[in-house]
Amino acid sequence: MPLKKKNQTKVYDLKSIEFFLVQIGFLLLMWTIYRSIFSFDVWFDETFGKAVFYGLPIWVYLSVNKLKAISDSLAIEKLKKGLMFGLAIGGIFGFTGTIAAMIIKKGDVAPASTVFLNTQFWWQFFLAMMTAFWETIFFYSFIMNVLIKKCKKLSVLSVTMFAAVIFLIFHLPNIILRSPNLSSVTFQIYLMFLFGFGQALLFQATRNAYSLIISHAIWGMVMFIHLS
């Protein structure tokens, strides 16, 4: 009498690169739905929203995969050097943005004293820091470190490009939904990719999340002051 075949249940390897990519794809879908359906205040999106969509998945992943490189990028001994380097990169963003704004607006740029004394500036800076924190640990401390560990055959350029593309794709829903016309969408896509690529290169060079957080926050403020 032939033996009955036992039902075989497919077991997915939660430590595989395939599971990681499925997780990222699912998060992208959920983030797109969230952005499309809901329209909460910016402060809610940049604090609670991104804590759920960016922070929680990292905790879930780390509960299964012990990837020390993620926490290493936020090691306290890297704080001082990271802040200094981030301020230097941010200073370049600020200088370049101001020069560009002066050319575009023909010199009609608000003086620094007016900007810094405005309470709205510091509230926006707080939001920029929250944005920078969640996006840095998600796109770079998390995604880039997983790619580096799991895809050892990928070149530095390939990992950098991959991270920049993921950074861009996650920002597409907001760009498309909030841009007034096609030329604005195209400009923002181009700008977002370049920024994501630059941040990925910076992380490859330093593996220091603090540098990216500060430079990202300053870049956000440059965009707010000169392009809003």
Q: Which residue is it, tokens 């995969």?
A: 65
Task: Give the pLDDT score at 228.
Answer: 63
Residues 167 and 174: their CA atoms lie apart, in Å, by 12
- Averaged pLDDT of the chain: 87
- Across the range 137-162, mean pLDDT stands at 92
pLDDT digits (tens, 9 = 90+) for 161-202: 999 999 999 999 989 888 878 888 998 999 999 999 999 999
6-20, 40-54, 112-126, 184-198: least confidently modelled range? 6-20
Task: Give the pLDDT score at 113.
Answer: 61
- Taking Cα atoms as reference points, which of 104, 46, 137 lies closest to residue 225? 104
Task: Give the pLDDT score at 44.
Answer: 95
Task: Give the pLDDT score at 101.
Answer: 72
Buried b (16+ CB within 10 A) or exposed e, 194-217: ebbbbbbebbbebbbbbbbbbbbb
Task: Give the pLDDT score at 12.
Answer: 55
Task: Give the pLDDT score at 183.
Answer: 87
- Across the range 98-121, mean pLDDT stands at 72
The predicted model scores a pTM of 0.87
Residue 58's alpha-carbon distances to 65, 151, 196, in angstroms, are 10, 18, 19
Question: Does the structure show a pLDDT above 60 at 85?
Answer: yes
Tally of helices (H runs) and strands (E runs) in the chain:
12, 0
Question: Does the structure show a pLDDT above 70 at 8?
Answer: no
Residue 51 — pLDDT band, cuts 50, 70, 90? very high
- Across the range 146-167, mean pLDDT stands at 92
3-state DSSP assignment of residue 130: helix
CA 14 to chain centre: 24
- Across the range 129-156, mean pLDDT stands at 93
Question: Does the structure show a pLDDT above 70 at 16?
Answer: yes
